[in-house]
Structure 1
Amino acid sequence: MPPQFPLATVGALVTAPDGRVLIVKTTKWRGTWGVPGGKVEWGETLEAALKREFQEEVGLDLREIKFALVQEAVNDEQFHCPAHFVLLNYYARCESTQVIPNEEIVEWEWVTPLEALDFPLNSFTKLLLEDYQQRFMSI
């Protein structure tokens, strides 16, 4: 039986010192690429959840975490099973580009934000990248 309420999730478009961003292909999003992230645990702040998820999934420490946007996924076919998520998206930076993937991460790439759009992204990550480009690249 699915949860009775939507699940809060966090994810981030993280930028390396050279300006590239990390995108990942996971087992959960039916072959599409996205950003690392996951569910917020009971009693956990959003920022703590984001830092934990990045450590667990890709072994990266985040800094300069800034809120980006909210999205909602209601039984979206891109996800591997029926779910209702409130996706809380962030922008962040990291010092290292050494990814230590967990079992959820199938592939990963550090790419420019423009190169990322050439990957088969899930629609939520595509929107996050487009927002990033509008905010930070059109200056």
Structure 2
Amino acid sequence: MDRPLVCVGALVWGRDGRVLLVRTTKWRGLWGVPGGKVEWGETLLSAVQREFEEEVGLTLRDVQYAQTQESVLSEEFHRPAHMLLVDFFASTDGTEIQPNEEIEEWAWVHLHEALDYPLNAVTRTLVTLALRQGEQ
């Protein structure tokens, strides 16, 4: 029986105040943030740190919970999936991206410029939350 997948991702700020966006093979050409599935026995924090190391070679710090979203059979995703997405905000000291095979393109952008990218819906929600929190 299929069950929802628990996934993690993070909107990450570099030292210069810009955030990292990536275009991956899994979101049909749309941009998002690095992340992936939580493995059995792994905490959410460990999962998001591992995924960033694997996908872009960055070490995260100051990881903070942002929100939880649900994506049920999104046409934006490359295959039918039901995902619970646990999103974080984090920082990194590195800026040199070491992409794995999933990452097709990446950009460091100012947060207010991120919405100009063709983002997948779950990343658009995460960026909008970050912008709202920045206004408070």
TM-score class, shorter:
over 0.9
Task: Give the match for residue 62 of structure 1.
Answer: 60
State the one-letter code of the partner of 1:98: E
Q: Distance in 2 between matches of 1:39 and 1:112?
A: 27
Q: Report matched runs for 1:60-139 at 5 Å.
A: 60-136=58-134, 138-139=135-136
1:45-98 per-position Cα deviation (integer Å, ceiling 9, x unaligned): 000000000000000000000000010001100000000000000000000111
- 1:5 is displaced (CA, Å) by 1.0
* Deviating 4+ runs (over 4 angstroms): none
Three-state SS of the structure 2 residue aligned to 1:135 is helix
Counterparts of 2:128 and 2:63 in 1: how far apart (Å)?
18
**TM-score (ref. length: structure 1):** 0.96
Task: Quote the offset at 1:4 in angstroms.
Answer: 1.6
Identity %: 55
Q: By how many angstroms is 1:114 displaced? A: 1.1
Separation in 2 of the partners of 1:31 and 1:54?
A: 20
CA distance in 1, matches of 2:65, 2:19: 16
Calculate the TM-score normalised by the size of structure 2: 0.98
Q: Which SS does the other structure have where 1:54 is aligned?
A: helix
Gaps of 5+ in 2: none
| CA distance in 1: counterparts of 2:122 and 2:48, whole angstroms | 17
Which blocks of at least 5 consecutive residues in structure 1 are unaligned? none
Aligned residues: 136
Q: Which letter does structure 1 place at the counterpart of 2:94?
A: S
Cα distance between partner residues in 1 of 2:8 and 2:108 = 20
